[in-house]
Amino acid sequence: MLDLIGQGKAHTCNGATRRDFLQVGTLGALGLGLPQMLQAESAGIVDPSKDKKSCILIFNLGAPSQLDTFDMKPNAPAEVRGPFQPISTNADGIQLSEILPRHAKIADKIALVRSCFHRGAAVHDSGWQIMQTGRLFTGGVDTPHVGSAVWYIRGPRGDLPPHVVLPETMGRGGGNLPNGQAGGFLGKAYDPFALMADPSQENFKVPDLLPPSSIPPARLDRRRRLREAVELSMTQFESSESARIMSEHFDTAYRLMTSPQARDAFDLSKEPKRVREQYGMNRFGQCCLLARRLIEAGVRFVTVNTFLTVFDEITWDIHGSKPFTSIEGMKNIVAPMYDQGYAALITDLSDRGMLDDTLVANLAEFGRTPKVNPAGGRDHWPGCFTVYFAGGGVQGGRVVGASDPIGAVPDDRPVEPPEVLATIFHSLGLKLSDHLPGPGGRPFPLIDTGFREIHELF
């Protein structure tokens, strides 16, 4: 283990944990990988003109009910249509639920895909995996998160990590499967940087971006130079892949801890109180604001989790009975918080001239059952649900695909998870024909053959 501020010791092996490489709190989640940008360009992997493109992926953990939010069925029987009414939006012909009034005011910037489905099990972590990696977890192959794949191909900008998860990676969902928010077979070096803090809390800061006050900069620099001297004497060790990853972790952590760019990007106190309140003084709202700051500072990919678990908090998981959320809980707690934070983010990005270069993708693990259950809620349903996009070259004010009259299955233009991920890659200028180094070093396609981006969005 390497510790920037305490006793140092090294333990290396392939697949070692991040804490084995670096112990500086949440900075242990960070590393930089190769190939770098010039290598990628020379190989024809990326379009250099689109290197300025970024992505914010909002993952609606718990799964919103498509029938109560984005795909209303007002003419269906009461047990299907639910208790909410559709409202008009500022986009011709598009209606949304009355519980999302702020979405309705910016619908001209949003493109809805109402015909998404997947073939995975109706359990949370199966959906998390397939919707963030494009693949089911089969044969022991842990496919990397879309942000980690972007990281591998594009590399970093400046001193900031290429992929950040706010406020932290999601927990388990009951199915004991990987949740899809990791570097997967690319290795721990491509796990995202997780904030591990609630930015809505008073006096919020990311403490690991600053050395402890007891460690003056000169001492920290001496530790860095001492480490370099030790490494020079370990020539055989330094030729290993584990050592290369360790070195990248240490160097990146050192740059982060001493970088004004990184400190400023994470410093929400620099935002006017008025702006912070527009996003909502809650965890999700402030994560959306922090995501905007990070993208503005140069982070390529930010994942925002609306919630962290379906077990201990009010979420989109509206089974109707305790310990899960009721439809009333969604109406009174979840939807207002989410509606405010998302609308503020899109409006802010647009006002700052950032929306054209920033794709905001809103995904979920599945939808909810067409019929309301006996508890007054809806259960898991991967057969049909809505995902949506804004910015990043996507044309707003449009709908792609349609569900059947009860929102159970796609009725027009069915869309599968690889197409959703391909849309993100396409917006960022990556070539879908590219390959990642898969298990055993074998080439692993970025997107499975036969899938492409949802071209109707562009």
Per-residue model confidence as pLDDT tens for the chain (458 residues): 223 333 333 333 333 343 333 333 333 333 333 333 334 444 444 445 558 999 999 999 999 999 999 999 999 999 999 999 999 999 999 999 999 999 999 999 999 999 999 999 999 999 999 999 999 988 889 999 999 999 999 999 888 999 999 999 998 887 788 999 999 999 999 999 999 999 999 888 886 665 555 555 565 566 556 555 555 555 554 555 555 555 555 565 666 667 788 889 999 999 999 999 999 999 999 999 999 999 999 999 999 999 999 988 899 999 999 889 999 999 999 999 999 999 999 999 999 999 999 999 999 999 999 999 999 999 999 999 999 999 999 999 999 999 999 999 999 999 999 999 999 999 999 999 999 999 998 999 999 999 999 999 99
Q: How far apart are CA 40 and CA 136, in angstroms?
A: 27
Question: Pick from 114, 126, 125, 117: which is nearest to 69 by CA?
Answer: 114
Which pLDDT value is given to residue 383? 98
Q: What is the DSSP string of 387-412?
A: EEEESTT--SSEEE-EE-TTSSSEEE
User: Tokens 């718990």 map to which residue?
Assistant: 62
Q: What is the DSSP string of 40-72?
A: HHHTT-B-GGGTT-EEEEEE-TT---GGGTTS-
Which pLDDT value is given to residue 28? 35
Residue 212: asked if its preceding bond is cis (omega within 30°), the reply is no
- Are 323 and 309 spatial neighbours (Cβ–Cβ below 8 Å)? no
Which pLDDT value is given to residue 312? 82
Q: How far is CA 192 from the centre of its chain?
A: 9
Q: How far apart are CA 202 and CA 450, in angstroms?
A: 49
Which pLDDT value is given to residue 206? 80
Residue 211: asked if its preceding bond is cis (omega within 30°), the reply is no
- Secondary structure (3-state) at 369: coil
Question: Pick from 124, 158, 113, 151: which is nearest to 302 by CA?
Answer: 151
Q: How far apart are CA 326 and CA 316, in angstroms?
A: 9
Q: How far apart are CA 145 and CA 421, in angstroms?
A: 10
The string over 262-292, giving b where at least 16 C-beta atoms fall within 10 Å of a residue's C-beta and e elsewhere, is bbebbebeebeeeebebbbebbbbbbbbbbb
Which pLDDT value is given to residue 256? 65
What does the block give as tokens for 406? 């009860």
Q: How far apart are CA 182 and CA 19, in angstroms?
A: 15
Contacts of 301 (CB under 8 A, 6+ apart): 54, 55, 57, 146, 147, 150, 151, 162, 163, 164, 192
Which pLDDT value is given to residue 107? 98
